[in-house]
A and B are shown apart, each in its own frame.
Chain A
Amino acid sequence: SAVISQKPSRDICQRGTSLTIQCQVDSQVTMMFWYRQQPGQSLTLIATANQGSEATYESGFVIDKFPISRPNLTFSTLTVSNMSPEDSSIYLCSVEADRVGGYTFGSGTRLTVV
């Protein structure tokens, strides 16, 4: 299955600033997914990113807050904009694995907003 490199692995950011998280995959994939995992909680899908088109956002997530880029078939970025402490979470990117229906996840970016 695909190997995902996600950067940064963790960061501490000031309220009101923005952070861009990078996700690099070692093979070409059609769709990439961004998830949020709040402390001790489950994974919530933020958006689906297809190369060459605008990302599709889930209910409760908007492009102004979480802009996503997908410039090619192996790379995507998620920006967390105008951060508040409520944005403190682990952010994970994911791609569909070789097995139909299975997904591979990156190691995540642990974000703390102070």
Chain B
Amino acid sequence: QQQVKQSPQSLIVQKGGISIINCAYENTAFDYFPWYQQFPGKGPALLIAIRPDVSEKKEGRFTISFNKSAKQFSLHIMDSQPGDSATYFCAASKGYSTLTFGKGTMLLVSP
């Protein structure tokens, strides 16, 4: 049973555009929602994370929007750049437990 569903599987965005990746979760006990960025040949790196007490968190060009009632959260990348081309994973956990990952979104930002 997949507890975190991520979409789309792949995404192509023009430079300067907005990239949007969505995730939905099933377990209402989840209380930590991070996004990871993975470049080819590298391990995933924590990009930004949110807890359900806020509906939005912004760090630079990256914003997480969180909808607790809908059990959904999304990553917005503003002014997308070719250097943002990577695979993005959403994840969720309860407390300090281990993460459950989405299946990933391969983002390509065209110049």
Contact = CB atoms under 8 A, between A and B. Distances in A.
B93 interface: yes
Contacts of B13: none
A41 interface: yes
Nearest to A9: B41
Contacts of A66: none
Interface residues of B, number: 18
A35 to B, nearest CB: 9
Given A40-B104, A43-B99, 20 more contacts: A6-B43, A41-B104, A42-B104, A43-B89, A43-B101, A44-B101, A45-B98, A45-B99, A92-B43, A97-B46, A99-B49, A100-B96, A101-B93, A103-B46, A104-B45, A106-B43, A107-B41, A107-B42, A108-B43, A110-B41
Report, nearest first, the 3 A-B pairs whose CB atoms are least far apart: A105-B43, A101-B32, A42-B103
Interface of B: 32, 34, 41-46, 49, 89, 93, 96, 98-99, 101-104
